[in-house]
């Protein structure tokens, strides 16, 4: 059980707040319309594909955010978000944002990518969106040849769940057409789903792209086609020539791509300027932990420090104290952790044994202050004896053993 959960079970104090404190969608808000794409048949007699594209100026608003905000994303943010040192030279203008629509949901040889959606960022922050739309299976080699220069030029890939799904599908398509899949597999890849889940899993009921759009990006889709209907839409086009449903898949994919760009900007701000970007303390605490874990120690500590100023009875505050104290302890900064443990002990009493034990250990073994350590152990045992909290037998034995040893060390025992 984590300390945050331990805190949540405190008898007194405020109960845990509802999952989201982010601004909720205004149902009257106008929907975000998909962009208009041009459509041009490219290729030759051996194979051709529809090259569908649109260009957006730097100031274009997608939902509540201008696209050129993505220029703020830098290498430090990308490394924190991905944990991948290969992104330490990340530049959004050298990245390919991509998202596939496929003809099946199982993967494998017969599962085609009928839309390869690509977004790239200009020098000035304008966005170029291209969809490679497959007409029929036999055109795939031509489509991939057409796509290849863009992928070869990409120094980075950005996707939402692409590390698990899209990049493997695309790699399989290259293999199937006797082309090397390394262009997809070896390029450093920032998959936003993982940091998004890390940051918002305690704040949002779902971390799907559409939930994030509504909660963070101000994007509200109207009459969006669910991804599960995409295969049927393409096969209807292939068999009957009716492309109306495929247009809706294109709309869906185009919105996904634009959201990918602004979500990158937003997540970057969440880790670069967490206090400003994240009004929700639970998400803020997650950001602090992520920063510390990914080596942005100062900023992470700062975020957690600010949170610990709140009421220790608040489970989010309590959780932040726990994580900060743990981080300080692991960094050998026991002295700095002591006040956190004391406040946690005061807030939770015998209900959470962790701060008592941590403080006692630090005092005894790291700081050589056996007398104070004995005070901590004595007080805890007294509380447990008075029915404040519960310790399992082996836990209790350990405490008594520690008490005995500390008494000997401090000369209180004969």
Interaction site with another protein (CB under 8 A): 103-110, 136-139, 168, 171-172, 175-176, 181, 231-232, 235, 238-239
**Spatial distance between the Cα atoms of 72 and 69, rounded to a whole number of angstroms:** 6
Phi, psi values for residue 40, rounded to 5°: -145, 135
Let me know: does 374 contact 407? Beta carbons within 8 Å.
yes
Phi, psi values for residue 393, rounded to 5°: -60, -45
Q: In the complex, what is the shortest distance from the CB of residue 103 to another protein, in angstroms, rounded to a whole number?
A: 6
**Spatial distance between the Cα atoms of 193 and 162, rounded to a whole number of angstroms:** 9
CA-nearest of 158, 226, 160 to 197 is 160
Query: For another protein, which is the closer residue by CB, 46 or 413?
Result: 46
What is the SS3 assignment for 339?
helix
Q: In the complex, what is the shortest distance from the CB of residue 236 to another protein, in angstroms, rounded to a whole number?
A: 11
Query: For another protein, which is the closer residue by CB, 25 or 175?
Result: 175
Q: In the complex, what is the shortest distance from the CB of residue 32 to another protein, in angstroms, rounded to a whole number?
A: 28
Q: In the complex, what is the shortest distance from the CB of residue 175 to another protein, in angstroms, rounded to a whole number?
A: 4
At which residue do the structure tokens 């695309």 appear? 170
Query: For another protein, which is the closer residue by CB, 84 or 375?
Result: 84
Alpha helices of 33-121 — where are they, by DSSP H? 75-82
- Point out which residues pair with 48 in neighbouring strands: 43
How many Cβ atoms sit within 10 Å of the Cβ of residue 218?
A: 18
Query: For another protein, which is the closer residue by CB, 134 or 212?
Result: 134
Query: For another protein, which is the closer residue by CB, 105 or 153?
Result: 105
Q: Which two tokens stand for residue 368?
A: 């050589």
Q: In the complex, what is the shortest distance from the CB of residue 255 to another protein, in angstroms, rounded to a whole number?
A: 22
Phi, psi values for residue 357, rounded to 5°: -65, -45
Q: In the complex, what is the shortest distance from the CB of residue 87 to another protein, in angstroms, rounded to a whole number?
A: 22
Q: In the complex, what is the shortest distance from the CB of residue 231 to another protein, in angstroms, rounded to a whole number?
A: 4
Q: For 216, which DSSP code?
A: I
- Please list, residue by residue across 394-408, b when 16 or more beta carbons sit within 10 angstroms of its beta carbon and e when fewer do: eeeeebeebbebbbe
Query: For another protein, which is the closer residue by CB, 139 or 280?
Result: 139
**Spatial distance between the Cα atoms of 74 and 186, rounded to a whole number of angstroms:** 21
Q: For 165, which DSSP code?
A: I
Query: For another protein, which is the closer residue by CB, 24 or 239?
Result: 239
Alpha carbons within 13 A on the beta-carbon side of 322: 26
* Stated length of the chain: 414
Query: For another protein, which is the closer residue by CB, 25 or 105?
Result: 105
Q: In the complex, what is the shortest distance from the CB of residue 188 to another protein, in angstroms, rounded to a whole number?
A: 19
């Amino acid at each position: 059980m984590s300390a945050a959960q331990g805190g949540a079970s405190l008898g007194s104090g405020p109960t845990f707040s509802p999952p989201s404190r982010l601004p909720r969608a205004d149902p009257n808000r106008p929907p975000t319309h998909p962009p208009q794409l041009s459509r041009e048949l490219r290729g030759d007699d051996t194979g051709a594909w529809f090259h569908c594209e649109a260009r957006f100026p730097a100031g274009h608003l997608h939902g509540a955010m201008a696209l050129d905000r993505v220029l703020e994303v830098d290498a430090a943010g990308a490394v924190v978000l991905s944990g991948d040192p290969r992104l330490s030279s990340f530049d959004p203008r050298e990245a390919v944002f991509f998202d596939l629509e496929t003809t099946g949901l199982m993967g494998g040889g017969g599962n085609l990518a009928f839309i390869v959606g690509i977004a790239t960022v200009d020098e000035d922050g304008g966005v170029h969106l291209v969809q490679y739309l497959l007409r029929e299976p036999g055109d795939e080699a031509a489509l991939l040849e057409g796509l290849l220069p863009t992928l070869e030029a990409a120094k980075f890939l950005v996707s939402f769940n692409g590390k698990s799904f899209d990049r493997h599908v695309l790699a399989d398509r290259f293999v199937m057409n006797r082309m090397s899949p390394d262009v997809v597999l070896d390029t450093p890849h920032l998959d936003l789903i993982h940091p998004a889940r890390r940051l918002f899993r305690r704040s949002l009921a779902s971390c799907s792209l559409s939930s994030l759009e509504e909660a963070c990006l101000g994007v509200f889709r109207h009459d969006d086609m669910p991804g599960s209907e995409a295969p049927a839409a393409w096969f209807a086009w292939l068999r009957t020539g009716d492309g109306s449903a495929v247009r809706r898949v294109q709309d869906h994919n185009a919105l996904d791509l634009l959201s990918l760009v602004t979500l990158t900007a937003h997540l970057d701000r969440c880790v670069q300027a967490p206090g400003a970007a994240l009004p929700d303390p639970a998400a803020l605490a997650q950001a602090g932990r992520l920063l510390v874990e990914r080596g942005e120690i100062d900023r992470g500590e700062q975020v957690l420090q600010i949170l610990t100023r709140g009421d220790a009875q608040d489970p989010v505050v309590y959780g932040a104290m726990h994580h900060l104290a743990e981080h300080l302890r692991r960094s050998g900064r026991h002295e700095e952790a002591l006040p956190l443990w004391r406040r946690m002990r005061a807030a939770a009493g015998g209900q959470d044994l962790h701060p008592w034990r941590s403080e006692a250990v630090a005092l005894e073994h790291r700081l050589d202050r056996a007398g104070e350590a004995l005070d901590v152990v004595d007080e805890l045992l007294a509380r447990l004896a008075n029915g404040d909290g519960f310790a399992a037998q082996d836990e209790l034995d350990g405490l008594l053993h520690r008490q005995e040893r500390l008494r000997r060390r401090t000369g209180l025992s004969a």
